[in-house]
Amino acid sequence: MRTFSGDYLGPLDDGQSAVIIGGGPSGAACAIALKNLAAELGRNIEVTIYEGKTFAGEIHHNQCVGVLSPRLREVMEERLGVAFPRHLVQTSIGGYVLHSDRQSIVLEEEGEPSYVVKRVQFDDYLLGKARERGVRVVQCRVTDLEFAWDRVVVYSEGDNRRADVLVGAFGLDDGAIQLFQRATSPRRSDAYVPPRCLDSIVTRIYPDPDFLTEFGDRIHAFLPAMPRIEFGAVTPKHDHLTVNIAGAQVDARLMGDFLTFAPVKRVLPPSFNPSSGDLAYFKGRFPVSLARGYYNDRYVIVGDAAGLLRPFKGKGVTYGCITGIRAAETIMKEGISKAAFRGYERKSQEVLDDMIYGRIVRWLAIASAYYGFLDPVLEIAKNDHALRRALFDAVSANKLFKEIIWDTLRPGLAARLAAASALALLGFKPRSS
Ligand SMILES: Cc1cc2nc3c(=O)[nH]c(=O)nc-3n(C[C@H](O)[C@H](O)[C@H](O)COP(=O)(O)OP(=O)(O)OC[C@H]3O[C@@H](n4cnc5c(N)ncnc54)[C@H](O)[C@@H]3O)c2cc1C
């Protein structure tokens, strides 16, 4: 009998097929890259995406705030051959205002701005581009999976299908995570284990248009000294402000606390009443660690479901597309065995190396907010361009944490930060400005 590991699981060949669970950015990007590579290599392959949501007509929503990095534009245009959907851009982001409890600092964007879109519209666009390349999109949820040595069987609410390789692009969907765990558990030690996550609550506030104009094009980011909220943000969108908070177990009550927290209240419309009862809350999750068992013979997992992204604030749409493309390259050029997918893992080495730095920065951010170190750090940053730049890159997720730390830390700055933190610990507070 043939085993699961074998050299015969080579690159996807003429007449073979791939099924992708999930038509979000990572699934759609993977499908487009598979079809592009197949055309380049002269192979005829069948690619099917199962997507449970209806993006067209905005029947379903997505909790994502929809801030897309300039790097995503490059990835789409240069690596997928898909035009960035400028017609969907509602506004662009000119920078951030970072708030501690007593201080705030403006962090200006110095390069190309980030773009704000409505996520369902963006997902509909990318899925449309996949369809144009001949990808079959089945509008229903996958309900079960079976892995055998010679195929994968996919069961859904609509049909069932056999494929040569499966791509898991199901985000942090609980149902899909469970079925994947169940389907891979016979392999025990290398079964799929999803990434650890932070919860997020999102709400929208609709101020009058004059207030929105005055609010400007900056995202207000908060690191409050509230033990259960790791960070929060107020983002200007086309006709509203999106407010989101994240933490290990945030809930609606904590969102209420955040909306009445003095630094947050100062940026919201004066007439806004958080207890009026007409706010709709949405719940989402961010991955903050790497999944385990995210590839094996005949399957590979991409995007949020793999946790393969910059941990703690990570422009997940960009990383979703990048991991989707890397998985497609491996499938078409290296193979569909566990050994071949080690190449996919190696291609993501920069993110894997950054995990430890991300954990350090996350811990520093929580401790700084809690012990009041953040006030003096922001005060120093007002007169230190390199530190301001580092804060911008950290908040905007423009750079990996490793690069930010090594590009910024100089002995003089480290000494000033340490001294200011020590003073903060002893109770000396900088004057707020
Ligand atoms: C509150 C919040 C705000 C965010 N803001 C931003 C931001 O501003 N910018 C940014 O870049 N990122 C942001 N993110 C992160 C971003 O949303 C994710 O990183 C990104 O969506 C990951 O893409 P994905 O394709 O891996 O997963 P998803 O976008 O989650 O797509 C997975 C898809 O799989 C489908 N699916 C799941 N299970 C099944 C099944 N069994 N059968 C069929 N289909 C299935 C789902 O319907 C879904 O469409 C935010 C996240 C949260 C929670």
Write down the pLDDT at residue 2: 40
Model confidence pLDDT, tens digit, residues 101-116:
888 999 988 888 899 9
Is there a contact between 27 and 167 (Cβ–Cβ < 8 Å)? yes
55 lines ligand 1 (CB under 6 A): no
29 lines ligand 1 (CB under 6 A): no
Q: Name the 3-class secondary structure at 16.
A: coil
Write down the pLDDT at residue 3: 41
Write down the pLDDT at residue 401: 86
Is there a contact between 328 and 41 (Cβ–Cβ < 8 Å)? no
Residue 304 CA to ligand 1 centre (angstroms):
7
Q: For a substitution probing ligand 1, which of 32, 64, 90 has the most ligand atoms within 8 Å of its CB?
A: 64
Write down the pLDDT at residue 424: 65
Those residues whose C-beta lies under 8 Å from the C-beta of residue 53, and which sit 6 or more positions away, are 23, 59, 60, 120, 123
Structure tokens at 394: 């950290």
How does DSSP assign 277-289, residue by residue?
Answer: S---EEEEEEE-S
- Separation of first and last alpha carbons in the chain: 73
Write down the pLDDT at residue 1: 34
The model's pTM is 0.92
Cα–Cα distance for residue pair 160/158, rounded to 1 Å:
7
Is there a contact between 21 and 142 (Cβ–Cβ < 8 Å)? yes
Write down the pLDDT at residue 312: 66
Write down the pLDDT at residue 363: 83
Architecture of domain 197-285: 2-Layer Sandwich (3.30)
124 lines ligand 1 (CB under 6 A): no
Which contacts of 398-404 are long-range, i.e. CB under 8 A and separated by 24 or more positions?
398/69, 398/71, 400/310, 400/350, 400/351, 400/354, 400/357, 401/310, 401/311, 401/312, 401/354, 401/357, 401/358, 401/360, 401/361, 402/353, 402/354, 402/357, 404/361
Architecture of domain 17-66+118-196+288-347: 3-Layer(bba) Sandwich (3.50)
Residue 418 CA to ligand 1 centre (angstroms):
38
CA distances from 150 to 159, 250, 343, 360 (A): 20, 44, 21, 43
Q: For a substitution probing ligand 1, which of 60, 173, 315 has the most ligand atoms within 8 Å of its CB?
A: 173
Residue 192 CA to ligand 1 centre (angstroms):
19
195 lines ligand 1 (CB under 6 A): no
Q: Which residues of the chain have pLDDT under 70?
A: 1-7, 186-187, 277, 311-314, 420-433
| Domain layout of the chain by residue ranges | 17-66+118-196+288-347, 197-285, 354-425
Q: For a substitution probing ligand 1, which of 304, 308, 310 has the most ligand atoms within 8 Å of its CB?
A: 304
Q: Which of 394, 286, 305 is nearest to 64 (CA)?
A: 286
- CB atoms under 10 Å from CB of 274, counted, come to 18
Those residues whose C-beta lies under 8 Å from the C-beta of residue 66, and which sit 6 or more positions away, are 116, 117, 118, 119, 122, 237
Write down the pLDDT at residue 187: 64
315 lines ligand 1 (CB under 6 A): yes
